[in-house]
Structure 1
Amino acid sequence: MDLFLKIFQESLPSLLSGLRITVIMALLSLFFASIVGLIMCVFSISRFRLLKAISTTYIYVIRGIPLMILGLFLYFGVGAALQIRFDPMVAAIIALTINAGAYMAEIFRAGIQAIDFGQMEAARSLGLNYFKAMKRVILPQAVKIMIPSIMNQFITTIKDTSILSVVSVRELTLSGQIIIANNYRPFEVYAIVALMYFVFITILTMISKQMERKLSYDHRGE
């Protein structure tokens, strides 16, 4: 136990730095993924077949490619093809954004389609065009439905960041691997890394459940 505590104290600053990078990557990725997802959602519910085809192809292709392969393809494949050197963190954020964007598109689509279509018709009858009706009437209601799923996607993205240690992003997992290379104590260090992930994700899960209960209560009260 004394050895474990000693390793914990020595490793904590480096692991906290890795955790900070993990959270930054996840937040930025989810932000950009929300933009991509919203665009793909609009395409998927559009009347134009071409836009629907683009959204459907994007979602199916990205959901069918492992995140690790996507990260390696961007960092090494695209970098070599364009003769540029990606910053590892930039490559990781792009890979996470592309991956999460496909899931966010489905979350947005499900949330929007959960709203009664009669509300869109009512908004249009009041003189609002499609985009204003979507912005002022449909999306504010859909967001309440989507928030728990968005929180779950954020938790998933936090865990997915560990996969992208393969492109040398010094997030929490790679920070642990670097420490192990120096002290040769994989059992203790990986146990600490797993514990940090567990505690952080548990806190996020509790927040997500609390938000879900509050939104459910607010919905019943309306």
Structure 2
Amino acid sequence: MKRVQEILQWGKRIANIDLLIETNGMKFNVKIDRNVLPHLLGLHYTNPSNGAINGIRLFNKIRKEKLTDEEIYEKINNNNPEQLENVKNRIYYFKEFMFNLDKAKIVEMTNPQTKIKSHHLILQSVDEKYLQLGIAKGDISDYFETFLVRKNDDYFHETTVSEEVTGIYRYDEECNLIPFSFDPVKAEKLEKEYNEQKDKENEQTDGIEIEDLLSINGIDEDEWDVEI
């Protein structure tokens, strides 16, 4: 299978996107970096523990060598066999999780013993497992730090926050917020609806007479003539 290659190819299309993820009570500005994808999938475990390799090099290495899922699993089994099942779960669930991020909840990271830096987790429950995407604080914006698939709630069982995601948006070049989904089909539909709504609003604005605009701003037409 080439599930990993498909995910990395998909990752190229979402590289360097700036997102706003909202709940009723929280907002997270998140920078999407494709170089973090290999780490989210656990692909760093293909290397020996003493052979660390950074995200971009790992991304390019796996893409260039066109490694299949089976070849990746073999490397992990040789170098970090205790992580094999962990990585298989990440790879199996990751894309579906991201495509349905709008159906997730956000909870607090409450495990004081972990080395994970994430302050919140985006959470879904599937197949009696907790899928958790960690949100950590970067220098300027947040970023996705890790992706966990676990049968227990050890990382969030003391959370006092559990809020459903109410909106996901990407910033365009003019910092407008465009409704967004990691699912390209959903994203296309959301953007089409957004553009249609904007066009409708622009048409309504174009149809307003100058007298109406002056009235909206509390200016009498005679006063406007004097000011000119």
TM-score bucket of the superposed structures, by smaller chain:
under 0.3
Structure in which a larger fraction of residues adopt strand: 2
**Scaled by the length of structure 2, what TM-score is found?**
0.21
Larger Rg: 2
Structure 1 length-normalised TM: 0.22
Q: Relative to total residues, which structure has the larger helix share, 1 or 2?
A: 1
